[in-house]
Amino acid sequence: MLKKIKNYLLLLFILFAASVSYLHEHSVLATADSGALNQQLNHLVNVEPDLQGAIAGISIRSADTGKIIYDHLGDIRLRPASNLKLLTAAAAITVLGEDYRFITEVLADGPVKKNSLKGDLFLKGKGDPTLLKSDFDKMAAEIQKRGIKKVDGNLIGDDSWYDDVRYSLDLPWSDETTYYGAQVSALTASPTIDYDAGTVMVVVKPGKDSGKQAAVRITPKTNYVKIINHAVTVPEDGKKAITIEREHAKNTITINGTIPIKSKDEKEWVSVWEPTQYALALFKQSLAEHGIKFTGKIKTGITPGKAQILTVHQSMTLSKLLVPFIKQSNNGHAETLVKEMGKVVKGEGSWEKGLGVVNEEMTKYGVNTKTLVLRDGSGVSHVDLIPANQLSQLLFAVQKEKWFTSYFHSLPVAGEKDKMVGGTLRNRLKNPLVKGKVEAKTGTISTVSSLSGYIKTKSGQTLIFSILLNNLWDDSKGKRIEDKMITILANQ
């Protein structure tokens, strides 16, 4: 009997030792460390002068267990800025799938006779935000291969895949001409592989001599925008002060100011007015370059059911699109994905239907949607609200998804110079303690700064964090505060 008791006690000891070992390996922080973490973060929140009068919502979880190990106003609804894109991306990849592609169709509603299309040519957009001038060239080449040299009809752009509401509900009027405030259309185009849909890239270079007009280049080359260039070249020691402004509701871009000889180019992305017409203009240009002429007009309309497809262009997969979307914090991609989810799931490409899908999908990840206010997919709205604890909950829950690698890979990486790696964190957190060890989404709108993601600590553990700073007197100060908090976490 005594032997049995000894064996039983020995077994209990072995189980206890194994449990202690397991907990040591998998716990986020030892009790003492957790206390130290709380003390350091509380001290920062309480004494940081740039947080006086502001609100800081902070949530830190174990990436292994999901347990909250630090919470400061974590259940208070706050404006997330671009951290809202974490919800949009998760919902989109869940609903649409990693391999989802946007398509653009070219169709005709008449026969081809003697190298002439006897009818209209339709360019039907279905949301692709990555169309480049080179893609329109490829579509034109396919039409040329069919022997079509002339279109006895109109060139019609069809953007009816989405509704005709171009701006999200709370987009400030002052953002109208910016690249991050570009109009959303089912038919649009991008100037470069940053894929800022609905924009042109304007580059201003110094002239050859002082007093000469500055040189201006537009990408893509297009007559859709009109350039008025008043910029002047000044001596090397002169002041560089260039303004690039588009007139409201027009495509006239005026350039003013001075640029010194030998100085670096001034570069800016400017949104166009009516991206559907912009895409049509580029397609017409591509067709002309392939020897295809028109007798009719360029206009918008609906593709008739009888129209026959001539060629189809496919975008990159959604898993690849997530990289420029999240790393570069592309507002247009976010709003396009919202409308696409609305179209695919509810049959209507609108913000109302798309945001309804986002809201529904969040429940699958344990997010309490009753705590959310969703007004767009990008976070540009000052009315969007989410508690930090709900953001960290989402980041914990998605780790189990088969697509998590794509999601995680899309996050900016601290201190990494490559724009498509470091993204919006490439110039931050360069200290060896944190460089390459923080993958997180940044966010900035006036008076708001945010940062949510994952961090590998000094002890080798992974923590999930969400930091939402609101009512800042200077939102740029928020980055410095976030970086301090991240450094504290990294030291655990």
Per DSSP, the three-state class of 258 is strand
Residue 396, H or E segment: helix 388-397
Locus of tokens 């292994």:
64
Cα(99)–Cα(102) distance, integer angstroms: 10
CB-CB contact of 334 with 131 (8 Å): no
329 is catalytic: yes
CB-CB contact of 152 with 186 (8 Å): no
For 168-232, the DSSP string reads -TT--GGGTTBGGGPPP-SS---SSTT--TTEEEEEEE--SSTTSBPEEEEES--SSSEEEE--E
Of 82, 190, 406, 449, catalytic: 82
CB-CB contact of 273 with 252 (8 Å): no
Q: Which residues contact 381 (CB under 8 A, 6 or more apart)?
A: 168, 169, 170, 171, 375
Of 59, 329, 378, 449, catalytic: 329
With the C-alpha atoms ordered 453, 456, 459, 461, is the resulting torsion angle positive or negative? positive
For 319-346, the DSSP string reads HHHHIIIIITT-HHHHHHHHHHHHHHHH
CB atoms inside a 10 Å sphere around CB 83? 29
Cα(123)–Cα(83) distance, integer angstroms: 34
Cα(259)–Cα(277) distance, integer angstroms: 32
CB-CB contact of 204 with 216 (8 Å): yes
Of 59, 62, 85, 286, catalytic: 85
Tell me the catalytic residues.
82, 85, 329
